[in-house]
């Protein structure tokens, strides 16, 4: 009878050689099957299955050939320190170790896998306290390193991967866990058309170096694909990154392609989708593929936060940009969607911070009037607008206004109105000696003209200080109207969907307007 108190099996005692001269598959399978019968922990302690556990298979240092997938039974641990596993043949057609449905409080220590289709495959079988520790793993020239496989009925798995490296492997990790923690590792990108990490859960990554390779023809490489999770219980989902370095070498690529949408029903107990990057170095130049942004949006999550990062001056499309297939203007204004980028992340003064329409969600540490982000659709509240002029006599500035189109309920009636200060700097020359300044109060009010309800734009001069010859030229508004042309109507029907508001004044293309909001759509929050 087997001694059930033994807890470790040495594969060499069963006939494996580990000398890269033979196929050790049969002996490895025998070892893991045998280890499943060695009970290490008893469910009599506490009277619950949460205390059960089986034996460990020990692989002494060596090179082990594997010609067919090793099925690992429930509860078996693997000690593979200094062991190397080579697929036979090593052409990425064979899966290595498979623990599908059998993962539960397992430890996988060490192991180097070379030439596999998928090195390690795991999933649980609806066990509530599932935990998996992978420590010291290396994958080389594999298609996938670790695949947690989608198991919607059992996402309550805590996965920790530490002290790892992924070299010349297309995708290091596919995770669907409630909580995945990657720490102290190295991942290089092969330049293929995909992500090194697929995430559908909550992923925390820290102290990792991400090293890119030249992009393959027609590919869109990136480090992380972040997706929605629709079947988990309430809780945050997304990506949190700290103390990582992304790229810097030729062929750099975006940190995240985000496909996760914002949950606007959080107040009913659902989960928020988040992206958080802090204390990291981001060299995401996109030199060989043109992405040239840290985050590329295919959808907008609930929160994006970027803090205290560096190496971002070469991001030609800014910190955040939208994919050409995604129209961010279709996303409604909501307090449940926010973007926070602290002032240390401004990077280059040449390139934009993010796409214009995303500014309406921006909440920064140096923007005290972020409550108005929903009022101005291009997000340029408390910002300077550069004027355009076709004749160097009359200048204009146009912005998009988020204005309600009906008075169907009390909230819309309360929100129907806005006001802001407009500081105008007017000039027909780039020389400062021709500058004149004025300050206006501009408002949007609602009223009835005897026929229908109107939205009316008005302006009032508060102060004017002349410039130019004898300081005799003043910056004077000639019109504030709906539309983007030089002329238009100050009144619009309340049902009008026109978003553009234009201010025209005397001046040329060297003029500008700075807006300081007073009251806006989101001011009541």
Residue written as token pair 């939208």: 322
pLDDT at residue 356 greater than cutoff 90: no
3-state secondary structure (DSSP) of residue 154: helix
Q: Does a structural domain hold residue 184? A: no
User: What pLDDT score does 524 carry?
Assistant: 36
Nearest one of 78, 158, 76 to 111, comparing CA atoms: 78
pLDDT at residue 165 greater than cutoff 70: yes
d(CA 260, CA 319): 18
Mean pLDDT across the stretch 143-168? 86
pLDDT at residue 523 greater than cutoff 50: no
pLDDT at residue 53 greater than cutoff 80: no
Q: Does a structural domain hold residue 359? A: yes
User: What kind and span of H or E run contains 25?
Assistant: helix 25-35
d(CA 319, CA 282): 10
Give the least confident one: 228-242, 267-281, 406-420, 472-486. 406-420
Give the least confident one: 131-135, 265-269, 407-411, 449-453. 407-411
Largest Cα–Cα distance of the chain, in whole Å? 109
Domain stops at, among 160, 175, 200: 160
Nearest one of 442, 446, 417 to 513, comparing CA atoms: 442
pLDDT at residue 403 greater than cutoff 80: no
User: What pLDDT score does 17 carry?
Assistant: 94
Mean pLDDT across the stretch 462-489? 92
One domain, residues 330 and 287? yes
Q: Residue 436 belongs to a domain with what CATH number?
A: 2.60.40
Q: Does a structural domain hold residue 166? A: no
Q: Does a structural domain hold residue 372? A: no
Give the least confident one: 119-128, 362-371, 407-416, 484-493. 407-416
Q: Does a structural domain hold residue 177? A: no
Would you report the helix, strand and coil content of the chain in percent, each value rounded to 5? Answer: 10, 40, 50
Give the least confident one: 47-56, 319-328, 346-355, 463-472. 47-56
Q: Does a structural domain hold residue 181? A: no
Q: Does a structural domain hold residue 489? A: yes
Which has more confidence, 153 or 516? 516
One domain, residues 344 and 219? yes
Hey, what are 137's tokens?
């793993």
Domain stops at, among 336, 366, 396: 366
One domain, residues 304 and 342? yes
- Classify 509 in phi/psi space as left (phi over 0), alpha (psi -120 to 50) or beta: alpha
d(CA 485, CA 436): 24
One domain, residues 22 and 156? yes
Q: Does a structural domain hold residue 176? A: no
One domain, residues 483 and 341? no
Mean pLDDT across the stretch 231-237? 60
Give the pLDDT confidence of 191-203 residue by residue, as tens digits. 889 999 999 989 9
Strands of the sheet containing 70-71, edge to edge, are: 70-71, 95-99, 118-122, 144-147, 171-175, 195-199, 222-226, 256-258, 295-297, 320-322
Q: How buried is 92 (Cβ within 10 angstroms: 0-12 exposed, 13-18 middle, 19+ buried)?
A: middle
d(CA 158, CA 201): 11
Mean pLDDT across the stretch 102-117? 92
User: What pLDDT score does 514 carry?
Assistant: 87
Q: Residue 92 belongs to a domain with what CATH number?
A: 2.160.20.10
One domain, residues 358 and 399? no
Check if the beta carbon of residue 440 is closer than 8 Å to that of residue 459: yes
Residue written as token pair 């289709």: 117
User: What pLDDT score does 209 carry?
Assistant: 95
One domain, residues 155 and 197? no
HSE-CB at 340 with a 13 A cutoff on CA atoms is 14
User: What pLDDT score does 454 carry?
Assistant: 87
d(CA 158, CA 254): 27
One domain, residues 71 and 99? yes
Share of the chain above pLDDT 90, in %: 43
The domain total for the chain is: 3
Give the best-scoring range by mean pLDDT among 266-275, 363-372, 447-456: 447-456
Beta strands at 394-400 and 500-506: parallel, antiparallel or unpaired: antiparallel
Q: Which domain holds residue 302?
A: 189-366
The average confidence (pLDDT) of the chain is 82
One domain, residues 75 and 106? yes
One domain, residues 125 and 209? no
One domain, residues 319 and 277? yes
């Amino acid at each position: 009878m087997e001694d059930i108190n033994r807890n470790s099996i040495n594969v060499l005692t069963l006939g494996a050689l580990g000398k890269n001269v033979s196929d050790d598959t049969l002996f490895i399978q025998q070892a893991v099957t045998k280890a499943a019968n060695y009970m290490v922990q008893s469910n009599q302690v506490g009277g619950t299955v949460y205390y059960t556990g089986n034996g460990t298979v020990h692989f002494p240092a060596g090179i082990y050939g594997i010609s067919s997938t090793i099925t690992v039974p429930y509860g078996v641990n693997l000690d593979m320190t200094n062991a190397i596993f080579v697929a036979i043949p090593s052409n990425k057609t064979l899966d290595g170790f498979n623990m599908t449905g059998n993962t539960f409080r397992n430890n996988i220590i060490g192991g180097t896998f070379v030439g596999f289709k998928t090195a390690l495959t795991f999933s649980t079988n609806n066990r509530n306290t599932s935990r998996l520790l992978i420590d010291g793993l290396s994958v080389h020239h594999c298609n996938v390193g670790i695949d947690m496989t989608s198991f919607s009925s059992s996402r309550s798995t805590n996965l920790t991967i530490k002290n790892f490296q992924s070299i010349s492997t297309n995708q290091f990790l596919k995770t669907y866990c409630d909580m995945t923690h990657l720490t102290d590792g190295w991942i290089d990108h092969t330049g293929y058309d995909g992500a090194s990490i697929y995430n559908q859960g909550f992923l925390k990554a820290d102290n990792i170096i991400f090293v890119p390779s030249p992009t393959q023809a027609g590919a869109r490489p990136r480090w992380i694909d972040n997706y929605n999770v629709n079947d988990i219980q309430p809780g945050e989902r997304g990506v949190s990154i700290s103390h990582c370095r992304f790229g810097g070498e030729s062929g750099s690529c975006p940190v995240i392609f985000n496909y996760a949408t914002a949950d606007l029903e959080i107040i009913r107990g659902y989960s928020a989708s988040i992206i958080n990057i802090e204390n990291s170095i981001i060299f995401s130049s996109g030199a060989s593929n043109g992405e040239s942004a840290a985050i590329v949006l295919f959808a907008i999550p609930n929160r994006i936060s970027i803090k205290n990062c560096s190496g971002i001056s070469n991001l030609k499309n800014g910190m955040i940009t939208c994919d050409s297939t995604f129209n961010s203007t279709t996303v409604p204004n909501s307090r449940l969607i926010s973007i926070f980028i602290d002032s240390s992340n401004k990077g280059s003064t040449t390139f934009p911070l993010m796409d214009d329409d995303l500014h309406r969600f921006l909440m920064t540490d140096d923007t005290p009037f972020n409550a108005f982000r929903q009022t101005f659709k291009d997000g340029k509240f408390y910002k300077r607008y550069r004027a355009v002029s076709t004749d160097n006599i009359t200048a204009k500035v146009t912005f998009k206004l988020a204005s309600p189109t009906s008075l169907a309920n009390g909230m819309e009636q309360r929100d129907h109105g806005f006001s802001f200060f407009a500081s105008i700097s007017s000039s027909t020359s780039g020389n400062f000696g021709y500058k004149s300044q004025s300050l206006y109060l501009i408002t949007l009010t609602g009223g009835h003209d005897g026929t229908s309800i109107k939205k009316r734009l008005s302006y009032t001069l508060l102060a004017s200080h002349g410039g130019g010859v004898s300081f005799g030229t003043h910056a004077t508004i000639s019109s504030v109207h709906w539309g983007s042309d030089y002329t238009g109507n100050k009144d619009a029907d309340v049902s009008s969907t026109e978003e553009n508001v234009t201010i025209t004044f005397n001046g040329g293309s060297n003029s500008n307007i700075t807006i300081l909001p007073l009251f806006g759509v989101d001011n009541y929050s």
